């Protein structure tokens, strides 16, 4: 639902929010941060709202009487060290908090928060941003059809997609315990790896370390075990979106995956962006799901809903960039490797939810989905290095003159995402960023 909180003309008394490329007044994403100790004694992780270059401290705002009614209930649930309790409240609480937070931070009226700005706002650059929920479950889908096709061509050029791909949203249960916040370093994993020309496997550092550009889908409030979520209600269980880098040790993954799929090649780490961009903030960027190519099967009834097909996709531009050690030393900007869009997903997010629960599996507030690598239809949009380098058989050149097939120690991977639509304020997701440590 588009309402006054999306009005592009509204300005904030927080000066940095006006025209901010990521967090204008129209965004108001939620996350968990640790404020600097000098501004808040015994500062503990707590919920906050990003506004320009600042973070609104929900705990202090609540203590100082800035929220009322349902918004106060929501702010209390969101002010702890995770957002799980807030997510469990459902969409009504999110909307109430968004409405009052927008009014508090807007310059078009008397705001009870403005005189308290020195207490309520923290400079984001002085804070540490955490993973926003306690993630009990992390499911990684394979919904980017271009990525699936590119990988499948290396296995079987004539039949790159498995027979089930266009009938069912393929996924596997990934490792929740190793999901880390943006800016936390990633250790290059060790494991068994075997190249095709090697007689036997060896154990050692990953030689094909890769990234995967994925959409993070934050799930809630959940469902009871044994009670599937019907497709027409599935969108109600999507709280918001972010970005996730599903780091992949391709050599380990390729050797171990038959017959049961990814294991140690994936479980060593994933990086998630810190802010949950709520579904309410993303309303202006909803679009129809792209039509399936002629000849593709229509999904089975439990995965099909006309309303979801008409407005269940999102038009969000994505970028993947690399910043090497040499670039940092030379003060060079990161090199953009690819651009793609969430419209490149073959399945809607509601279809992912409906399929996940169709057997009675229960989702829990704060669960995380990865969409699967989102690659565009051409090389300029390929969202992993295994695609860019054709599994290491060719190198590509960075703006610094360096070449890569896969990631080297010291390389930093940066993901960015923005929703843009004429007549509406551009909103961003904030960066999903991490550096490889050898």
CB distance 8 to 19 below 8 Å? no
Is residue 70 within 8 A of residue 93, CB to CB? The reply is: yes
Residues in contact with 337: Cβ distance below 8 Å, sequence separation at least 6, in sequence order: 320, 321, 322, 385, 388, 396
Q: Which are the contacts of 56, defined by CB distance < 8 A and separation ≥ 6?
A: 48, 49, 50, 101, 104, 105, 113, 120, 121
Helix (H) or strand (E) holding 30: strand 30-34
Cα(253)–Cα(191) distance, rounded to whole angstroms? 9
Helix, strand, coil percentages, rounded to 5, for the chain: 25, 25, 45
User: What is d(CA 32, CA 82) in angstroms, rounded to the nearest whole number?
Assistant: 6
With 0-12 / 13-18 / 19 or more C-beta atoms within 10 angstroms meaning exposed / middle / buried, residue 421 is middle
| 122, 147, 237, 335: the active-site residue | 147
Rounded CA separation 198/192 (Å):
12
The CA-to-CA distance between both ends of the chain, in Å, stands at 47
The H or E element containing residue 76 is helix 69-78
The number of residues making up the chain comes to 438
Active site includes 147? yes
Q: Indicate the DSSP class of residue 263.
A: S
Q: Residues 6 or more apart from 372 whose CB is under 8 A from it? A: 140, 141, 142, 143, 144, 147, 148, 171, 212, 214, 345
CA distance 41 to 59: 13
Closest CA to 119 of 74, 55, 71, 75: 55
Residues recognised as catalytic: 147
């Amino acid at each position: 639902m588009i309402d006054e909180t999306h009005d592009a003309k509204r300005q904030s008394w927080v000066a940095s929010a006006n025209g901010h490329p990521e967090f204008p007044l129209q965004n108001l994403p939620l996350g968990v941060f640790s404020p600097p100790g000098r501004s808040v004694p015994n500062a503990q992780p707590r919920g906050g709202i990003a506004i320009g270059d600042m973070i609104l401290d929900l705990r202090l705002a609540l203590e100082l009487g800035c929220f009322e009614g349902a918004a106060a209930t929501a702010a209390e649930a969101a002010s702890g060290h995770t957002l799980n309790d807030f997510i469990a409240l459902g969409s009504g609480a999110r909307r109430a908090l968004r409405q009052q937070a927008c009014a508090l931070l807007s310059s078009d009226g008397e705001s009870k928060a403005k005189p308290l700005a020195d207490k309520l706002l923290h400079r984001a650059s002085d804070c540490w941003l955490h993973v926003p929920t306690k993630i009990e479950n992390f499911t990684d889908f394979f919904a980017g059809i271009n990525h699936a096709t590119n990988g499948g061509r290396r296995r079987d050029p004539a039949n790159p997609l498995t027979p089930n791909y266009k009938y069912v949203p393929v996924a596997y249960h990934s490792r929740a315990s190793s999901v880390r916040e943006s800016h936390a370093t990633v250790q290059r994993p060790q494991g068994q790896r075997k190249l095709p020309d090697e007689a036997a496997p060896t154990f050692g550092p990953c030689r094909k370390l890769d990234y995967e550009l994925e959409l993070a889908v934050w799930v809630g409030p959940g469902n009871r075990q044994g009670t599937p979520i019907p497709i027409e209600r599935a969108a109600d269980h999507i709280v918001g979106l972010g970005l996730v880098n599903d780091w992949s040790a391709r050599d380990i993954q390729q050797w171990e995956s038959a017959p049961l799929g990814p294991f140690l090649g994936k479980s060593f780490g994933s990086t998630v962006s810190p802010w949950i961009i709520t579904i309410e903030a993303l309303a202006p960027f909803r679009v129809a799901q792209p039509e399936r190519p002629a000849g593709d099967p229509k999904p089975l009834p439990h995965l099909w809903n006309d309303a979801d097909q008409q407005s269940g996709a999102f038009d969000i531009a994505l970028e993947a960039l690399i910043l090497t050690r040499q670039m940092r030393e030379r003060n060079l900007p990161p090199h953009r490797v690819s651009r793609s869009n969430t419209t490149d997903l073959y399945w809607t997010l509601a279809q992912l939810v409906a399929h996940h629960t169709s057997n009675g599996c229960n989702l829990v507030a704060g669960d995380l989905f990865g969409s699967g690598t989102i690659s565009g239809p051409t090389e300029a949009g390929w969202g992993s290095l295994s695609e860019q380098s054709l599994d290491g058989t060719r190198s590509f050149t960075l703006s610094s003159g360096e070449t890569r097939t896969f990631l080297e120690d010291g390389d930093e991977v940066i993901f960015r995402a923005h929703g843009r639509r004429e007549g509406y304020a551009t909103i961003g997701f904030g960066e999903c960023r991490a550096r490889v440590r050898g």
